[in-house]
Amino acid sequence: MRVKDIRPAPAEIEYKNMKFLITDRPNDQTIHTFIQELKKHNVKEVVRVCEPTYKVEELKSEGINVIDLVFDDVHCVAGLGRAPVLVAVALIELGLKFEDAVALIRE
């Protein structure tokens, strides 16, 4: 059985002492590939900003904590989806200008 790739590929954003990994949301069929990708990037915490499409127990059993931050009716901002927008907010909090945060995410 062939393991499905995560599409699009995860994007790792690094600024100052923080690292963010932006991924497409997994489902119960792709959760094992997702966990492998998280481990490859040493992820310890996942912030889920979309409605649940997978069970968190498998992540928790691998030592990965899941935080749910679902926002009703939040869509793209400047061409960025929910996860990239939250990363942009974090980058702005770390001192980047909005334009620079968006440019860094789009690299």
Q: Which sequence positions are flagged as catalytic?
A: 76
- The conformation of residue 43, written as its DSSP 8-state character, comes to -
d(CA 54, CA 30): 9
Q: Helix H segments across the chain?
A: 31-40, 57-61, 82-93, 98-106
Q: Is the peptide bond before 10 cis (omega within 30 degrees of 0)?
A: no
Is 33:13 a contact under the CB 8 Å cutoff? Answer: no
Is 23:7 a contact under the CB 8 Å cutoff? Answer: no
